[in-house]
């Protein structure tokens, strides 16, 4: 048997209170696309951080082509041919592509030579990119290309990709896969982290599945069903949300011809948005991040005021009403950014329950606050949505992302909204809790509420929405019935690959 | 290697202990400073902290504590509301001056009437003067997006010029033999903010300061406006989502702090100081910023911090005259107090960990 490129043997890493990785072992062969599968919090990120030299393992060892490999810092890992594309890009919006790439290099060459090399690599691997464009103007897919090209310039032996497709349109995913396949054919190994099973089945040769920090199994994805892999990930059988057949009522929320200028230089302007959602209907809004999702939520929640007639609730103009007045009328929202937008990090859960609950839960009388009732409300949310926390007195920032997300969604759902707007409702939430959140949205719709669900997770949208529309550069496509939509159609609604063709490789 | 780790939750114990630790550290390093200057360190620290309270002449100094502490607390309470919300009124000194001018002016307009309505009218006019002066940065900020730190600070110097102008002109004592300065309000019963109990130092300003502490406590803990203030300071975007109207909040915070600073100025001019003069203001408005932070922007904390600050002022004066400590050394000492407070404050949200750092 040949020596694997990278062999992990019994890697263990513990943080105070949690074992992130518990003696994880597996091999990555030369030229292999290896998937690392697992739910949020399964320990995938810690594991790759150890490989990339960001975290030092407590015990266990790594062998690179049979030689001991102990990177003390990322620079050393890079020198040994390991490159990583992070889920969150580290790019400066105000600089251009070449400048951004030069910033990450030890000895950057002349800008003109660098630009030439960027062009060369981008053409070779079918990643169209102009080195002199400003990063702030690029789509998420293009930004990711910057990161990938930054890695490829180092000529890596192992490329680590952390959830690369979460920000891409289906067409952009296709471009990315072509690139990865070309890299593989040249002998580069790829460690591919994801929880999207279908793409792992198309792309990867081998998969390692992590659960609660332990390696719980390996499989060959092309021969294993997605459901089996999912159950290995979760460790139990999955419950699919139940949707009851529903009758739609009259139009609850109606947006006509809404245009809003971009709030900042790198924000997105909303352009001529039309939207109607009926009672009992779930409208799914897809689209790649940064195409106006935040701005649309702001318009619906009342944070951004518009012409009175642009936003109508049951036919009444509410465009000039702020968040408090809209809550009184039953329009509730849960923004994407949990810490700092949906919740105040340093305030307790009780105080955060007050944040949106004061009007509808009657937590305020003549301006004076009823903290007793607020604590009860917070406890109700914690109980109903299974939020893991010692109690409502704990600060919001002490909760894990998924738990806080449950709290934020629960806070709105329990207030019995007429119209609920959620943005990325299950982002960072484990599969079981995500299913519970989706179920609660479906239940809410079954009770006659209109739900607008903005999400980048197409599977989620297909699972719960009745109709589907996509945001692309601030424009909303015409909504279509969700049942029967194909991936290609959805991709086209999302604006394709931003006008870029799949390059021929 | 020593590094800082963010705590999952702010530590309650440290947030209580920080001021005490800061005072102890200031005593220690202040003592070192005095020793280097060739003064007996223990004696100097004892003079500053002990003498005003329990020394031989404490009967004189104790009322002084109230007289000096009250305006500091009154102004700091107002400032703390804004500071909590990230609205930085640095110009309390100017609002204090304007409150004094409006208060004194409103009274002197009726000289020599002995109506009992004069003093209440002066109180209202004083608060109005401070409020008006604070509305300038507030309106400029909400309408044109100017920076309230710069505008409010610059207006201090405008107020000082205005003070000089009225002392020499509009409010000048016609029977003052040409000296600058207004009539002395202490010798006019209707306008005099006299001690409520003779010899105690307790005047209406002290009462107002205590009321302000209670008012601020209730506002911050039990009222929607206070909740919005705290929310805005901690997470501005969440505040907007909660429905806070930023414009209204700026007007409220700057207005309240201006009115309270104006009240402080009015009580000072009609009481301990007695008259409008060119050098009427002595920096209470700036020192109150320190008091507000020393009290951790908490009403009760500010009450204690105001007392402590007054103590170091009076103790510092005694140390200057008894031990010939230079005035600059006392100021360094007071600066140290704020410095250590902010430094130790870090421990509320961070803990010190020893070991190899992890890049994550």
Regarding whether A148 and A49 lie in a shared domain, the answer is: yes
Interface test with A, best of B241, B348, B355, B358 (most A CBs within 10 A): B241
* pLDDT, tens only, A320-377: 999 999 999 999 999 988 888 999 998 999 999 999 999 999 999 999 999 999 999 9
* pLDDT, tens only, A33-62: 999 888 766 788 888 889 998 888 888 889
Q: Which of these, A271, A270, A293, A232, lies nearest to A452 by C-alpha position? A: A293
Regarding whether A306 and A230 lie in a shared domain, the answer is: no
* pLDDT, tens only, B31-81: 999 999 998 999 999 999 998 998 888 888 999 999 999 999 999 999 999
Q: Phi/psi of residue B153, each to 5°? A: -65, -45
pLDDT score, position A504: 40
CB contacts of A70 in chain B (<8 Å) are none
Cβ-nearest to B224 among A303, A367, A398: A367
* pLDDT, tens only, B93-116: 999 999 999 999 999 999 888 899
Q: Is the dihedral of CA A243, A244, A247, A251 positive or negative?
A: negative
Q: Phi/psi of residue A94, each to 5°? A: -85, -10
Residues B176-190 have a mean pLDDT of 89
Q: How far is B233 from chain A (nearest CA, A)?
A: 10
Regarding whether A281 and A327 lie in a shared domain, the answer is: yes
pLDDT band at A241 (very low <50, low <70, confident <90, very high): low
Q: How many CB atoms lie within 10 A of CB B54?
A: 10
CB contacts of B8 in chain A (<8 Å) are 395, 397-398
Residue A411 domain flag: yes
Q: Which of these, A87, A76, A38, lies nearest to A54 by C-alpha position? A: A76
Residue A260 domain flag: yes
Total domains in chain A come to 2
Regarding whether A301 and A173 lie in a shared domain, the answer is: no
> In chain A, pLDDT over 90 holds for what percent of residues?
34
C-alpha span between A238 and B267 (Å, rounded) = 72
Regarding whether A117 and A44 lie in a shared domain, the answer is: yes
Regarding whether A451 and A324 lie in a shared domain, the answer is: yes
Regarding whether A138 and A41 lie in a shared domain, the answer is: yes
Taking the Cβ of residue B356 and every Cβ of chain A, the question of whether any pair is shorter than 8 Å is answered with yes
Residue A338 domain flag: yes
C-alpha span between A397 and B300 (Å, rounded) = 27
Q: Which of these, A144, A210, A216, A212, lies nearest to A180 by C-alpha position? A: A144
Distance between start and end Cα atoms, chain A: 32
Q: Confirm if A71 and A17 have CB atoms less than 8 A apart.
A: no
Residue A308 domain flag: yes
**Final residue of a domain: which of A234, A261, A279?**
A234
Regarding whether A158 and A306 lie in a shared domain, the answer is: no
Residue A437 domain flag: yes
Q: How far is A40 from chain B (nearest CA, A)?
A: 17
Regarding whether A269 and A195 lie in a shared domain, the answer is: no
pLDDT score, position A232: 80
CB contacts of B245 in chain A (<8 Å) are 322
Residue A245 domain flag: no
- Which one-letter DSSP state was computed for residue A389? S
Regarding whether A58 and A15 lie in a shared domain, the answer is: yes
* pLDDT, tens only, A422-450: 999 987 777 778 888 999 999 999 999 99
At residue B158's C-alpha, the angle toward residues B155 and B162, to 5°, is 135
Residue A419 domain flag: yes
Q: Which residues contact B320 (CB under 8 A, 6 or more apart)?
A: B326, B327, B330
SS3 (DSSP) at A252? strand
Q: Confirm if B52 and B62 have CB atoms less than 8 A apart.
A: yes
Distance of CA A479 to the CA centre of its chain: 23
Q: Which residues contact A328 (CB under 8 A, 6 or more apart)?
A: A359, A360
Q: Phi/psi of residue A346, each to 5°? A: -90, -5
Taking the Cβ of residue A304 and every Cβ of chain B, the question of whether any pair is shorter than 8 Å is answered with no
pLDDT score, position B318: 92
Interface test with B, best of A344, A352, A397, A422 (most B CBs within 10 A): A344
C-alpha span between B335 and B294 (Å, rounded) = 11
Q: Domain holding A29: CATH number?
A: 3.40.50.300
Taking the Cβ of residue A337 and every Cβ of chain B, the question of whether any pair is shorter than 8 Å is answered with yes
Q: Confirm if B167 and B180 have CB atoms less than 8 A apart.
A: yes
CB contacts of B238 in chain A (<8 Å) are 340-344, 355
SS3 (DSSP) at A453? strand
Q: Is the dihedral of CA A28, A33, A39, A45 positive or negative?
A: positive
Q: Which helix (H) or strand (E) holds B337?
A: helix B327-349
More confident residue, B360 or A235: A235
Q: Confirm if A331 and A364 have CB atoms less than 8 A apart.
A: no
Q: Which domain holds residue A272?
A: 251-345+389-493
pLDDT score, position A496: 46
Q: Which of these, A487, A481, A457, lies nearest to A171 by C-alpha position? A: A487
In the 3-class helix/strand/coil scheme, how is A478-501 assigned residue by residue?
CCEECCCCCHHHHHHHCCCCCCCC
Taking the Cβ of residue B222 and every Cβ of chain A, the question of whether any pair is shorter than 8 Å is answered with yes
> Could you tell me the domains of chain B?
40-324 (1.10.3470)
Taking the Cβ of residue B245 and every Cβ of chain A, the question of whether any pair is shorter than 8 Å is answered with yes
* pLDDT, tens only, B283-321: 899 999 989 988 889 999 999 999 998 998 899 999 999
Q: H-type helices in B243-298, by residue range?
A: 246-270, 284-294
**Final residue of a domain: which of A234, A269, A292?**
A234
What b/e sequence results for A8-27 when a residue is b if at least 16 CB atoms lie within 10 Å of its CB, and e otherwise?
beebbbeeeeebbbbebebb
pLDDT score, position A360: 93
SS3 (DSSP) at A34? strand
Regarding whether A296 and A205 lie in a shared domain, the answer is: no
Q: Which helix (H) or strand (E) holds A433?
A: helix A431-446
Distance of CA A350 to the CA centre of its chain: 27
Taking the Cβ of residue A345 and every Cβ of chain B, the question of whether any pair is shorter than 8 Å is answered with yes
Q: Confirm if A36 and A219 have CB atoms less than 8 A apart.
A: no
How far are the Cα atoms of A125, A426, A462, B336 from residue A453, in angstroms, in the given order? 36, 10, 11, 54
CB contacts of B230 in chain A (<8 Å) are 347
How far are the Cα atoms of A17, B145, B340, B358 from residue B354, in angstroms, in the given order? 18, 45, 22, 12
Nearest CA in chain A to B219: A368
Residue A383 domain flag: no
* pLDDT, tens only, B198-256: 888 889 999 999 999 999 999 999 999 999 999 999 999 999 999 999 999 999 999 99
Q: Would you call A323 and B242 a contact, using CB atoms and an 8 Å cutoff?
A: yes
Q: Would you call B241 and A364 a contact, using CB atoms and an 8 Å cutoff?
A: no
Average pLDDT, chain B: 91
Regarding whether A60 and A164 lie in a shared domain, the answer is: yes
Number of residues written out for chain B: 360
Residues 68-127, chain A: which have Cβ within 8 Å of B?
73-74
Average pLDDT, chain A: 86
pLDDT band at A237 (very low <50, low <70, confident <90, very high): low
Q: Would you call B235 and A345 a contact, using CB atoms and an 8 Å cutoff?
A: yes
């Amino acid at each position: 048997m040949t020596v694997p490129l990278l062999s992990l043997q019994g890697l263990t890493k513990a943080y105070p209170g949690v074992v992130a990785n518990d003696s994880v072992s597996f091999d990555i062969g030369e030229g292999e696309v290896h998937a690392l599968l697992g739910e949020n919090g399964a320990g995938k990120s810690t594991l790759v951080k150890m490989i990339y030299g960001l975290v030092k393992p407590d015990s266990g060892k790594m062998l690179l082509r049979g030689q001991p490999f102990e990177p003390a810092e990322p620079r050393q890992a890079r020198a040994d041919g390991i490159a990583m594309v992070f889920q969150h890009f580290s790019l400066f919006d105000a600089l251009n592509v070449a400048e951004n790439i030069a910033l990450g290099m030890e000895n950057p060459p002349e800008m003109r030579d660098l630009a030439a090399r960027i062009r060369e690599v981008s053409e070779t691997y079918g990643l169209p990119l102009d080195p002199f464009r400003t990063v702030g103007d690029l789509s998420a897919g293009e930004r990711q290309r910057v990161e990938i090209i930054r890695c490829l310039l180092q000529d890596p032996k192992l490329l680590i990709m952390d959830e690369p497709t979460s920000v891409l349109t289906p067409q952009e995913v296709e471009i990315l896969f072509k690139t990865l396949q070309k890299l593989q054919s040249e002998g580069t190994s790829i460690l591919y982290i994801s929880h999207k099973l279908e793409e792992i089945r198309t792309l990867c040769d081998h998969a390692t599945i992590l659960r609660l920090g332990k390696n719980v199994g390996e499989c060959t994805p092309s021969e294993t069903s997605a459901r089996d892999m999912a159950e290995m990930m979760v460790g139990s059988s999955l419950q699919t949300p139940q949707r009851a057949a529903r009758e739609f009522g009259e139009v609850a929320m109606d947006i006509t011809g809404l245009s809003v200028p971009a709030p900042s230089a790198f924000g997105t302007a909303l352009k001529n948005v039309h939207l109607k959602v009926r009672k009992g209907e779930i409208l799914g809004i897809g689209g790649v991040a940064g195409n106006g999702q935040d701005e649309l939520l702001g318009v619906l929640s009342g944070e951004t005021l518009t012409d009175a007639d642009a936003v109508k609730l049951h036919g009444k103009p509410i465009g000039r009403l702020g968040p408090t007045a809209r809550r009184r009328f039953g329009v509730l929202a849960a923004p994407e950014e949990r810490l700092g937008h949906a919740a105040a990090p340093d305030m307790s859960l009780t105080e955060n329950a007050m944040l949106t609950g004061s009007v509808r839960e009657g937590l305020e009388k003549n301006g004076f606050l009823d903290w007793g009732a607020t604590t009860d409300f917070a406890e109700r949310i914690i109980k109903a949505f299974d939020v893991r926390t010692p109690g409502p007195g704990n600060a919001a920032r002490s909760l894990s992302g998924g738990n806080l997300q449950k709290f934020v969604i629960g806070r709105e759902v329990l207030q019995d909204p007429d119209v609920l707007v959620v943005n990325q409702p299950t982002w960072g939430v484990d599969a079981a809790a995500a299913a519970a959140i989706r179920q609660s949205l479906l239940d809410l719709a079954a009770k006659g509420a209109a739900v607008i669900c903005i999400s980048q997770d197409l599977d989620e949208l297909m699972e719960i929405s009745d109709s589907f529309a996509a945001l692309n550069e601030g424009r909303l496509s015409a909504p279509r019935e969700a049942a029967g939509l194909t991936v290609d159609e959805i991709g086209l609604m999302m604006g394709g690959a931003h006008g870029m063709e799949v390059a021929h490789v | 290697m020593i590094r800082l780790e963010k705590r999952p939750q702010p530590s309650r114990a440290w947030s209580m202990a920080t001021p005490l630790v800061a005072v102890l550290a200031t005593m220690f390093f202040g003592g070192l400073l005095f020793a280097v200057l060739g003064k007996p360190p223990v004696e100097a620290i004892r003079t500053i902290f002990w003498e005003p309270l329990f020394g031989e002449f404490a009967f004189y100094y104790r009322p002084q504590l109230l007289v000096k502490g009250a305006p500091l607390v009154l102004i700091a309470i107002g400032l703390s509301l804004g500071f909590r919300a990230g609205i930085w009124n640095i110009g309390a000194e100017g609002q204090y001056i304007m409150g004094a001018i409006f208060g004194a002016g409103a009274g002197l307009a009726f000289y020599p009437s002995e109506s009992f309505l004069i003093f209440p009218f002066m109180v209202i006019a004083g608060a109005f003067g401070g409020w008006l002066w604070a509305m300038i940065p507030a309106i400029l900020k909400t309408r044109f997006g100017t920076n309230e730190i710069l505008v409010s600070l610059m207006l201090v110097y405008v107020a000082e010029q205005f003070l000089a102008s009225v002392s020499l002109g509009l409010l000048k004592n016609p029977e003052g033999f040409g000296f600058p300065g207004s009539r002395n309000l202490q010798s006019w019963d209707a306008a005099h903010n006299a001690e409520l109990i003779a010899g105690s130092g307790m005047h209406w300003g002290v009462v107002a300061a205590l009321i302000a502490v209670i008012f601020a406590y209730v506002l911050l803990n039990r009222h929607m406006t206070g909740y919005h203030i705290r929310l805005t300071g901690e997470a501005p975007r969440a505040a907007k989502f909660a429905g806070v109207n930023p414009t209204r909040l700026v007007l409220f915070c700057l207005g309240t702090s201006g009115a309270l600073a104006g009240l402080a100025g009015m009580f000072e001019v009609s009481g301990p100081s007695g008259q409008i003069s060119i050098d009427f203001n002595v920096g209470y408005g700036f020192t109150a910023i320190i008091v507000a932070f020393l009290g951790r922007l908490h009403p009760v904390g500010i009450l204690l911090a105001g007392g402590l600050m007054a103590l170091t002022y009076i103790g510092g004066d005694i140390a200057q005259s008894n031990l010939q400590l230079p005035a600059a050394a006392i100021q360094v000492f007071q600066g140290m107090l704020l410095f250590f407070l902010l430094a130790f404050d870090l421990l509320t949200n961070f803990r010190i960990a020893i070991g190899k750092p992890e890049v994550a």
